[in-house]
């Protein structure tokens, strides 16, 4: 059945609020510091990696509709330990992404107290999620329109006035692949439509066949336009030092009157992206508990509290650039496992060819290993620690369960059988 244009547009609008976040509002600064103007062609490599990964998660969601996210797909396809590594990479990436989004919010909305603003956003968004708030299609459409309209104003302002001569350029083409990896966080929200949460209506394959390329392509066009605009207005050297590039580009273009609009868009986008980030991490924790890798008695409220604490700690421990790097690296490792498991899907479960999963796997590993060394080392260390902790928890639970079973059997052996009362 051929999907209608309305179905496709609605699906794309549902995914956009999960994509237009820290990457477009803050990610351009560290990217310009590494590669300068070369960040623009690097975006094409990032979009290709995101497209392949989106295809893989969509196919797996169709094959395993009752399993939550990449952790469940990898466990079903590759086994327990790869799934634990996948879950660890996902949770590390989500914690760092939460820190990046919150720090972006603080830099734009509360520039005088950015850390306090970031912490307030994490707590407030977690409370909204725990209270049951969800971004419906209508809300998502409004958020998408608001953010896109403001970004269009930024681009128009940046190209309308000749820039002040820059104090120099920074970055080299040698960092193009590393910047492509760093900007992967700008596209990582596509799972909002490719892998719906439990209770949400899955999107038909016919709709996703059009919606996924449109979502990734539209995001690529937005990032390319915004990146070109702020680079033209600020230059790569000034852009690399800017905590809020879009705001500074407007100021440089003599459009300071539009700064409040950028703050509104940053606030709206921050809440939308952080809500998706926390919800997807919550799904992974729930899957770990259901499969016995975490205590099964953990209630949703406890999991939300764990995520809130993790987000707060990430904000306090990692500056924005580091958080973006760790988020990108851990998320790329996560999609390396997800693409690897998508490779072994049966032909009947596929909408896209196996080659896209192979390409996604190769690009994910290449981009992750090309990121700045500090982000790579932090991600690998956190991934190892997380995987070990999950394995240790699962082993302790299994040992405790076995011990309880043995005690119960021993108690039954020692208890004498009840005598049947004799007749008088």
pLDDT digits over 287-346, tens only? 888 888 888 777 777 888 888 999 999 999 999 999 999 999 999 999 999 999 998 887
- Position 422 scores a pLDDT of 52
Residues 217, 219, 225, 231, Cα dihedral to 10°: -130
Residues 272, 18: contact at Cβ < 8 Å? Answer: yes
Chain centroid offset of residue 173 CA:
27
DSSP 67-98: S-HHHHHHHHHT-HHHHHHHHHHHHHHHHHHH
- Position 166 scores a pLDDT of 65
Taking the CA atoms of 388, 391, 394 and 400 in sequence, report the sign of the dihedral they define. Answer: negative
pTM, rounded to two decimals = 0.92
Residue with the two structure tokens 């009947």? 348
Please tell me the distance from the alpha carbon of residue 319 to that of residue 99, in angstroms, as a whole number: 8
Give 159-164 contacts, CB < 8 A, sequence gap 24+.
Answer: 159/229, 159/232, 160/253, 161/233, 161/253, 161/254, 161/255, 163/232, 163/233, 163/234, 163/235, 163/252, 163/253, 164/252
Burial of 353 (0-12, 13-18, 19+ CB in 10 A): exposed
Residues of the chain with pLDDT below 70 are 1, 68, 166-168, 406, 409-410, 415-424
- Position 321 scores a pLDDT of 92
117 closest CA partner among 271, 317, 304, 305: 271
Neighbours of 311 (CB within 10 A): 29
- Position 424 scores a pLDDT of 42
pLDDT per residue as tens digits for the range 95-148: 999 999 999 999 999 999 999 999 999 999 999 888 888 888 888 889 999 999
User: 303: number of CA atoms within 13 Å, CB side?
Assistant: 23
Structure tokens at 226: 């915004």
Burial of 395 (0-12, 13-18, 19+ CB in 10 A): exposed
- Position 163 scores a pLDDT of 85
Residue with the two structure tokens 């059988």? 417
Please tell me the distance from the alpha carbon of residue 193 to that of residue 210, in angstroms, as a whole number: 12
């Amino acid at each position: 059945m051929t999907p209608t244009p309305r179905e496709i547009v609605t699906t794309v609008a549902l995914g956009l609020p999960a994509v237009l976040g820290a990457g477009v509002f803050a990610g351009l600064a560290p990217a310009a510091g590494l590669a300068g103007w070369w960040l623009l062609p690097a975006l094409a490599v990032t979009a290709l990696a995101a497209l392949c990964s989106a295809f893989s998660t969509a196919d797996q969601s169709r094959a395993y509709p009752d399993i939550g996210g990449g952790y469940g797909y990898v466990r079903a396809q590759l086994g327990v330990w790869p799934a634990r590594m996948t879950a660890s990479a996902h949770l590390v990436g989500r914690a760092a992404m939460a820190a990046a989004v919150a720090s972006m919010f603080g830099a734009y909305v509360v520039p005088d107290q950015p850390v306090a603003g970031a912490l307030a956003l994490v707590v407030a968004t977690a409370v909204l999620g725990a209270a049951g708030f969800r971004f419906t299609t209508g809300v998502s459409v409004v958020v998408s329109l608001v953010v896109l309209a403001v970004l269009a104003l930024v681009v128009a302002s940046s190209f309308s006035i000749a820039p002040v001569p820059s104090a120099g350029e920074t970055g080299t083409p040698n960092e193009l692949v590393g910047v492509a990896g760093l900007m992967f966080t700008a596209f990582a929200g596509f799972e909002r439509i490719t892998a719906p949460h439990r209770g949400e209506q899955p999107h038909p394959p016919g709709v996703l066949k059009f919606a996924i390329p449109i979502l990734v392509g539209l995001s690529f066009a937005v990032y390319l336009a915004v990146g070109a605009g702020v680079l033209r207005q600020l230059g790569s050297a000034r852009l690399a030092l800017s905590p809020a590039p879009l705001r500074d580009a407007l100021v440089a273009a003599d459009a300071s009157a539009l700064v409040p609009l950028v703050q509104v868009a940053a606030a709206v986008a921050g809440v939308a992206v952080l809500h998706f980030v926390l919800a997807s991490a919550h799904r992974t924790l729930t899957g770990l508990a259901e499969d016995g890798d975490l205590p099964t008695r953990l209630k949703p409220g406890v999991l939300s509290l764990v995520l809130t604490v993790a987000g707060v700690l990430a904000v306090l421990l990692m500056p924005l650039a580091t958080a973006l790097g760790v988020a990108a690296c851990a998320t790329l490792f996560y999609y390396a496992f997800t693409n690897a498991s998508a490779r072994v899907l049966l032909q009947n479960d596929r909408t896209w060819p196996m080659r896209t999963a192979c390409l996604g796997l190769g690009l994910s590993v290449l981009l992750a290993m090309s990121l700045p060394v500090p982000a790579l080392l932090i991600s690998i260390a956190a991934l190892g620690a997380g995987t070990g902790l999950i394995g240790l928890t699962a082993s302790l639970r299994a040992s405790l369960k076995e011990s309880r079973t043995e005690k119960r059997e021993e108690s039954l052996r020692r208890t004498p059988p009840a005598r049947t009362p004799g007749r008088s």
